[in-house]
């Protein structure tokens, strides 16, 4: 999808793809380009495919001119609402108070000041209006950008996200997975709901996602990390009612890894793509929900499964973030039913965006 065409002249790495099918059949994607994984010049760019993701147009910046006087990097996630409007959810990471630092504080599990905004398009992403601020009831609590605006029907939209501490370690909400709630197709966000939380406050729920099952229930997933013991736990899931107001207790998927992204097939099966930590590489897992139980059927390695170095993790999770070499998959179904996966990875010392397309039998 993207590779720096002149790595011998400029340092441009690509991260965090987000792909959606436009009403006319094109694929549109946002990617983030910059000098390094947490560089202050990371900016959202847009690229388009007219051949089901085989080839992509040159990436262009979402915001053509950066007029903000603050030191801000950004990243985005992309989705299409039921009426055909395209929405980009963008996180603005204000780095002004912490020059020379990354996004997270390894001593406090704190995060830089973060704001959400949206951009909206009524012509399949050829032109954009915005930014529109996402004013939510959690105030200045930093929120993780881990999923796009997620429509759940009847004009309701959710933003699956996780709460962080502020940079100095303060924070009234702790570490939990929540969903911001809109009842007007993502124009206003006056409410939120808890989705997953640890009563002791030891565990954090990262890279959370929400998808709709064929029976109308919602499926939430998250990568779970014990910040006290400093190790990952099995990925968790929870089931919600059709509008996301009520959720079950979180339960284990039996999978262990990071940035797990579920995609619901037409027959109700779930294709989850994630960075395994018990084995090397990026994997696709096929599972299903039987009642309230998550049952795993089969798994397929996609990339990096012959290189243990790319999956090695140890010690402080905040430090490990700076050492990542692949992840954050975007997973969609194409109109013909094939699964399309885009993700970032380092190859020849340059981070690129790669894709896979496959059929689940």
User: How many angstroms separate the Cα of 82 from the Cα of each of 150, 154, 185, 331?
Assistant: 10, 9, 9, 18
Radius of gyration of the chain (CA): 19
Which tens digits make up the pLDDT trace of 21-65?
A: 999 999 999 999 999 999 999 999 999 999 999 999 999 999 887
Examine residue 8 and state whether it is found in any structural domain, yes or no. Answer: no
CB neighbour class for 146 (10 Å; exposed up to 12, middle 13-18, buried from 19): buried
Mean pLDDT estimate for the chain: 93
Q: Provide the pLDDT for residue 172.
A: 87
How many whole angstroms from its chain centre is CA 73? 16
Lowest mean pLDDT among 224-233, 278-287, 300-309, 343-352: 300-309
Task: Report the distance separating Cα 20 and Cα 288, nearest Å.
Answer: 23
Task: Report the distance separating Cα 94 and Cα 116, nearest Å.
Answer: 11
Conformation bin of residue 106: beta by default, left when phi > 0, alpha when psi is -120 to 50: alpha
* Residue 117 confidence (pLDDT) above 50: yes
Examine residue 23 and state whether it is found in any structural domain, yes or no. Answer: yes
Global pTM reads 0.94
Phi, psi dihedral angles at 317 (to 5 degrees): -65, -35
* Residue 300 confidence (pLDDT) above 60: yes
Name every residue whose Cβ is closer than 8 Å to that of residue 248 and which is 6 or more positions away in sequence. 238, 239, 240, 292
How many domains are there within the chain? 1
Question: 234: how many CB neighbours lie within 10 A of its CB?
Answer: 14
Q: Provide the pLDDT for residue 319.
A: 46
Q: Provide the pLDDT for residue 308.
A: 57
| Domain CATH for 319 | 2.120.10.10
Examine residue 259 and state whether it is found in any structural domain, yes or no. Answer: yes
Examine residue 250 and state whether it is found in any structural domain, yes or no. Answer: yes
- Domain residues for the domain of 26 are 13-358
Asked, as a colleague might, if the bond just before 152 is cis with ω within 30 of 0, I would say no
* Residue 324 confidence (pLDDT) above 80: no
Which tens digits make up the pLDDT trace of 123-153?
A: 999 999 999 999 999 999 999 999 999 999 9
Which tens digits make up the pLDDT trace of 58-87?
A: 999 998 877 677 899 999 999 999 999 999
Name every residue whose Cβ is closer than 8 Å to that of residue 308 and which is 6 or more positions away in sequence. 280
Examine residue 6 and state whether it is found in any structural domain, yes or no. Answer: no
Which tens digits make up the pLDDT trace of 148-168?
A: 999 999 999 999 999 999 999
Which of the pair, 231 or 320, is modelled with greater confidence? 231
Provide the pLDDT confidence category of residue 320 given band limits of 50, 70 and 90.
very low
Examine residue 154 and state whether it is found in any structural domain, yes or no. Answer: yes
Examine residue 4 and state whether it is found in any structural domain, yes or no. Answer: no
Q: What is the mean pLDDT of residues 181-189?
A: 98
Examine residue 33 and state whether it is found in any structural domain, yes or no. Answer: yes
Straight-line distance from the first to the last Cα atom of the chain, in angstroms, rounded to the nearest whole number: 26
User: For residues 106-134, b (16+ Cβ closer than 10 Å) or e, as one string?
Assistant: bebbbbbbbbbbbbbbeebbeebeebeeb
Question: The tokens of 9 are what?
Answer: 């002249």
Task: Report the distance separating Cα 288 and Cα 53, nearest Å.
Answer: 27
Q: Provide the pLDDT for residue 66.
A: 72
């Amino acid at each position: 999808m993207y590779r720096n065409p002149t790595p011998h002249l400029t340092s441009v790495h690509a991260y965090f793809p987000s792909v959606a099918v436009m009403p006319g059949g094109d694929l549109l994607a946002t990617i983030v380009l910059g000098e390094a994984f947490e560089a202050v010049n990371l900016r959202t760019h847009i690229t388009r495919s007219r051949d089901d993701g085989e080839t992509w147009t040159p990436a262009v910046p979402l915001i053509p001119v950066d007029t903000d006087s603050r030191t801000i990097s950004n990243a985005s996630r992309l989705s299409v609402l039921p009426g055909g409007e395209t929405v980009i959810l963008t996180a603005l990471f204000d780095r002004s108070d912490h020059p020379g630092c990354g996004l997270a504080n390894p001593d406090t599990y704190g995060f830089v000041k973060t704001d959400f905004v949206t951009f909206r398009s009524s012509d399949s992403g050829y032109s954009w209006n915005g930014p529109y601020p996402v004013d939510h009831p959690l105030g200045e609590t930093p929120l993780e950008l881990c999923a796009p605006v997620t429509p759940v029907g009847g004009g309701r939209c959710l933003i699956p996200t996780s709460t962080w501490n502020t940079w100095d370690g303060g924070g009234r909400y702790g570490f939990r997975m929540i969903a911001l709630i809109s009842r007007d197709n993502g124009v206003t966000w006056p409410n939120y709901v808890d989705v997953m939380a640890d009563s002791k406050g030891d565990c954090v729920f990262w890279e959370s996602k929400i998808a709709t099952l064929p029976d109308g229930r919602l499926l939430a997933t998250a990568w779970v990390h014990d910040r006290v013991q400093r190790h990952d736990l099995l990925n968790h899931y929870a089931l919600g009612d059709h509008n996301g107001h009520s959720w079950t207790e979180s339960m284990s998927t039996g999978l262990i890894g990071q940035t797990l992204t579920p995609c619901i097939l037409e027959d109700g099966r779930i294709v989850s793509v994630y960075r395994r930590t018990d084995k090397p590489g990026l994997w696709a897992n096929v599972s299903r929900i039987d009642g309230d139980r998550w049952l795993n059927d089969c798994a397929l390695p996609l990339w990096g499964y012959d290189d243990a170095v790319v999956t090695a993790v140890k010690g402080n999770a905040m430090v490990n973030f700076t050492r990542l070499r692949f992840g954050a998959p975007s997973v969609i179904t194409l109109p013909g039913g094939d699964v399309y996966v885009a993700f970032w990875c380092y190859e020849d010392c340059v981070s690129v965006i790669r894709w896979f397309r496959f059929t689940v039998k």
